[in-house]
Amino acid sequence: MGIQGNLSTMNVSDLLQFLAAGRKTGMLKFDRAKIVKQVYFDKGLIVGSNSNDPRDYLGQLLIHYGKLDESQLKAALETQRKSGGRLGEILVSTKVLPQADVLEVLRIRTLDIIYDLFLWEDAHFELHDNVRPPCARYSISWRRKCRWLKSATTCTPLLFMFMDSFTIW
């Protein structure tokens, strides 16, 4: 295990900057109460995420973004229950959704998870070195463009990451 600590002493922005600058590979795990969120890195770039928060479940997000309806999700979950496998893979292999739609929602989910972490003020974190995302087929990679801005009120630098051009490994 790499670094560990609490967000009350080192915030998410500092952690992400540290991992990017150090070109770290691994999984950054955040625990708050019963919620666990994981962000995966490859050479400092964010390549995926995972969460046990029901708001972050892929099926719910596909419905939210209009890519899937309840009956399609129910059928895919039944297939998953019977045969195992990952929901996104099932939806693509059964031609319910094109791979591009699943990847786009996974990309959005990763951004949502990161944005949500910025709101967490107190949570335990730990970096697990050289851990890869659980499913490389749907891992997402971005070319990252960063821009530093100064806050008009506090004169502290804020990091804004603009994610673009995602691809499958």
State the residue range of the domain holding 141.
Answer: 4-168
Number of domains composing the chain? 1
pLDDT digits over 2-28, tens only?
Answer: 789 999 999 999 998 899 899 999 999
Give one DSSP letter per residue of the chain, joined into a string: ---EEETTTS-HHHHHHHHHHTT--EEEEEEETTEEEEEEEETTEEEEEEE--GGG-HHHHHHHTTS--HHHHHHHHHHHHHH---HHHHHHHTTSS-HHHHHHHHHHHHHHHHHHHTT-SS-EEEEEETPPPS-GGG-EEEEEEEEEEE-TTT--EEEEEEEEEEEE-
pLDDT digits over 81-125, tens only?
Answer: 999 888 999 999 999 999 999 988 988 898 899 999 999 999 999
